[in-house]
Amino acid sequence: MTHVRTKICGLCSADDARAAVAAGADALGLVFAHNSRRRLDAARAVSISQAIGPFVSRVALFMNDDATMVSEVVESVTLDMLQFHGDETPAFCRSFGKPYMKAVAMGETDASVLQAAHDYHDAAALLLDGNRRGQPGGQGETFDWQIDLSAVGLPVVVAGGLHPGNVGQAIAALAPYAVDVSSGVEDAPGRKSADKMHAFINAVDKAGQS
């Protein structure tokens, strides 16, 4: 039996954050990317972060945002990890003194997970997303799960188009360390569904038992 961890991303309210924790999420994502419809300002992010109880990780998501903005967020919001979704270099990712996760855009034929694992060797994890390079994530797009990840050497987080109905299949195909979901547990853009979050985490737990 494997405990596959679940990150729920794009929380836009304290109530949704509490519901995600109640559903059993291991990590919650707060989006600061300038190009996201789920983008938070610092005041809202602080109120959401305060609503998250102990033993649940807080992850801040950026995409090609400038260093000053990232530093301001790191200084004003309680965070455990940073998630970078753009063309950020390894030096940029590690420069904020926090564990980080680098997203790899899998929605193109030449995406090289092994190259990313080499370049971002000090990352806490690699996150594989279904978006094309340059396009924002969080669009609900899957990628081809028939890939061999055995040589990656870093924890792998699978994302992109996951929902309660397909996450078991993704786990069976890729045996990831964790899965990450945003659109697939929403009722409307930026509004999470407690029922969908429960169903998602039940499906993850079930897949980890088989």
Ligand X SMILES: O=C(O)c1ccccc1N[C@@H]1O[C@H](COP(=O)(O)O)[C@@H](O)[C@H]1O
Residues 6 or more apart whose Cβ sits within 8 Å of residue 120: 90, 93, 102, 126, 154
Selected binder of ligand X within 11, 30, 31, 124 (CB under 6 A): 31
Selected binder of ligand X within 107, 160, 168, 176 (CB under 6 A): 160
Selected binder of ligand X within 21, 27, 32, 38 (CB under 6 A): 38
Separation CA 149–CA 127 (nearest Å): 12
Q: Smallest gap, in angstroms, from Cβ of residue 178 to ligand X? A: 10
User: 168-197: which residues touch ligand X (CB under 6 A)?
Assistant: 180-184
The closest of 40, 44, 50, 35 to 86, measured between CA atoms, is 35
Tell me if 61 sits within 8 A of 85, measured CB to CB.
yes
How many residues belong to the chain?
Answer: 210
Under rule CB under 6 A, residue 164 binds ligand X = no
Under rule CB under 6 A, residue 140 binds ligand X = yes
Where do we find the tokens 């397909």? Answer: 166
Task: Give Cα separations from 67 to 16, 31, 40, 136 (angstroms).
Answer: 28, 15, 17, 19
For residues 191 and 209, which CB has a smaller minimum distance to ligand X in the complex?
191
Where do we find the tokens 């304290």? Answer: 14
Size of the site for ligand X (CB under 6 A): 26
Q: Smallest gap, in angstroms, from Cβ of residue 1 to ligand X? A: 25
User: Phi and psi for 156 in degrees, rounded to 5?
Assistant: -110, 130
Under rule CB under 6 A, residue 8 binds ligand X = no
Which pair of tokens denotes residue 138?
């969080």
Under rule CB under 6 A, residue 138 binds ligand X = yes
What is the contact mask toward ligand X in residues 69 to 88, using x (rule: CB under 6 A)? ----------------x---
Selected binder of ligand X within 63, 79, 81, 128 (CB under 6 A): 63
Note the residues at the interface with ligand X (CB under 6 A): 9-10, 29, 31, 33, 36, 38, 61, 63, 85, 127, 129, 136-140, 159-162, 180-184
